[in-house]
Amino acid sequence: MTKKYYEAINWNDMEDKVDKSAWARLNDIIWEPRHVPVKEDKKEFLQLPSPVRCTLLHVFSALSFSSGLQMKSGIEQIKVDAITPEEAAVLNALQYLESIANKSYSYVLRELATPEEVDNAFDWANNSPYLQKKIHILNKIYQRGDALQKKAGNVILETALYHSGFFAPLYLFGQGKMVRTAEIIKLALRGTSFSGIYPGYKFRLGYKKLGKTEQEDLKHWIDNLYDELVKNEEKHIRLLYKGTGWTEDALHYMYYSVNKAYLNLGFPGKYPDTSDTINPVLEQGVIKSAVFEDFFYYTNDHSLNKFKEIK
């Protein structure tokens, strides 16, 4: 009898229906940045106040910085712990979408700014102590943490910390400005939403298998991690939005998003921020009645799917 080192994957007999659903939906949202005519926003970009222009460029370089970790290492390390081949395949799809989003952030910078401004924006991100600290903390977890710790780190980055940067283009979009640039963010959000929801679902499956003491210890570890990352992100936001008058609104949006990260892990939200505390300008063009069962719901001409949290 032949010794078996490996077996074929039978996709007709998936163990988890969520894997099947996620795979199908992820393949429906593959996109290409160059199909969005961001250059048509350049005239409007040049008319924005100088601090806003600076913030917008820094937003996209910061997103590129953080997304690079996910593209190269974060999702790859989570995939190491995949229980089934189908789960690994879904994570492959999420990694590909992360790569597309990462490319799109550079694409926006190229279309809006001069080569010198692009270089300056990336220098700003590379030299930011808060971005460096965030990536250092998360990368240590990806390299040394256990399967559930890695998923918890991934969820707060994808579900919450990215939104420090997402706020600016979405806020401008709520005012009817920079609509093509915001379209890039909305397309990226489809992938980041799944990258929070799907690992969060897998986290909950693993968490339920732990004993009570192990659950308490892990929850305590997550609270400490999230507190550290949030404090660091507050400093990043204050620097990023300096001079725009948007700092407090961006902070509220970040806290709201951290609550979503907790919910994706199956825990109650920690902060009082809800969709009711989000700046109405943001809500007008972007978020409509975002409740705990939903992730985001866009109500505009380029509406996205309504993301139901995976139960």
Domains of the chain (ranges; CATH) run 37-286 (1.10.620.20)
Main-chain phi, psi angles of 308, to 5 degrees: -85, 135
**How confident is the prediction along the chain (311 residues), in pLDDT tens digits per residue?**
677 788 777 777 766 778 888 888 888 888 999 999 999 999 999 999 999 999 999 999 999 999 999 999 999 999 999 988 889 999 999 999 999 999 999 999 999 999 999 999 999 999 999 999 999 999 999 999 999 999 999 999 999 999 999 999 999 998 989 999 999 998 998 888 888 889 999 999 999 999 999 999 999 999 999 999 999 999 999 999 999 999 999 999 999 999 999 999 999 999 988 777 778 887 765 554 333 233 443 333 333 333 343 33
Burial of 208 (0-12, 13-18, 19+ CB in 10 A): exposed
- Active site (annotated) includes residue 105: yes
Do 176 and 285 touch, CB atoms closer than 8 A?
yes
Among 5, 6, 96, 105, the active-site one is 105
Which residues, listed in sequence order, are joined to residue 308 by a DSSP beta bridge? Answer: 294
Do 78 and 194 touch, CB atoms closer than 8 A?
no
pTM: 0.89
Q: Which two tokens stand for residue 174?
A: 């709520």
